[in-house]
Amino acid sequence: MLLNDILKLDIKLLVAFTTIMEEGSVSRAAEKLGVTQPALSKSLQRLRDVFKDSLFTRQAYGLTPTARAAELHDMIQPILNSLSELMSPNALDLKNLDRRFKLRVDEGDLENFIEPLLASIQDEAPNVRLAITAWGDSQFDELISGHVDLGIMRINDTPGNIRSKLVGHMEACILLGEAHPLFHQEMVSLKELLEHKVVKPNWRHNRNSSFTRTEQKLKQQGYILKPTLETDSLMATMQAVKQGMALVTSRSIGDLFLKIMCKDNCMIPVKILPIPQEVIDLDENAGRLPIHILWHERFNNDLAHRWLREQIIHFMRESPWMHPPN
């Protein structure tokens, strides 16, 4: 069949043909399709013209397909089945989903969801595998290139082809060890905090966060942070707190340190204090860090991808540290 002949066909003609084959009668086929008998007779004539065959012969008990019609039916039925599958909504079979997802998440945000997520995957999608690492220097490039499926970051601005959703806000806090001179206070001022040693985490996802902009505002007012230690290591940060340095961080990291350092009957006493009011007054989010989940546009309608990110969003919003968006 030439291209011009193919263009004469449409789905309605193919459906009309198979229905007449199944019913063996133009009148019964017309009733089933909800069209008039003359309209279906015209469709049958078009089919005869296209395939250059009578297709059906009239018998006492109805229509009998020609050999060509039987041959065409065997070829057309799979086409209609495929079109039906094409129009059907996709179904996600979690039990048989075999897929590896790459995530970029730093420790403070991972603490919000990893435990319930792993339990959920084990129960609902046991063949799903995760590869989770902290953010590198490239950040969005990994999402754009497809090397990373999902990212979680404290950031507001993203490129146009990167989708983002605000999961919620996390409070900032001050973590002090027993060796810190202000340990026995219930609240500290910004001036008091800066008069003593501070450890500054250099976690990459913090570099473009709103809290970094607040730091710049404080600097303009003469409050300059000169950390004794800057590091991207959780272990080094923990040791710095143990040695008497203050840590300004998210509440999830604060509680994580509290849990680790105070185990075995509070072997290393630490405490969490609210951040100074001067910081809250200048911060655009009133001391609460906005947490976004990010993914590339190509994955937006991917059912498996959507399931995973909705799981993460749900568990993060259920965590004790997250304040859902208004």
pLDDT, average across residues 289-294? 88
The 10s digit of each residue's pLDDT in 242-260 is 999 999 888 888 888 888 8
Q: What angle do CA 130, 128, 310 make, to 5 degrees?
A: 80
Q: CATH classification of 94-167+291-323 is 3.40.190.10, yes or no?
A: yes
Phi, psi of 273 (to 5 degrees): -125, 155
The 10s digit of each residue's pLDDT in 93-152 is 899 999 999 999 987 788 889 999 999 999 999 999 999 998 877 778 888 888 899 999
Are 225 and 199 a contacting pair, CB within 8 Å?
A: no
Quote the pLDDT of residue 89.
59
**Structural domain 171-288, CATH architecture:** 3-Layer(aba) Sandwich (3.40)
At 125 the three-state DSSP class reads coil
**Structural domain 3-87, CATH architecture:** Orthogonal Bundle (1.10)
Binning pLDDT at 50, 70 and 90, where does residue 4 land? Answer: low
The reply to whether 171-288 shares the fold of 3-87 is no
User: Quick check: 161 pLDDT over 70?
Assistant: yes
Domains of the chain, by residue range, sit at 3-87, 94-167+291-323, 171-288
- Say how far apart CA 135 and CA 153 lie, in whole Å: 9
Tokens for 138, please give them. Answer: 């490239």
Return the DSSP state at 146: T
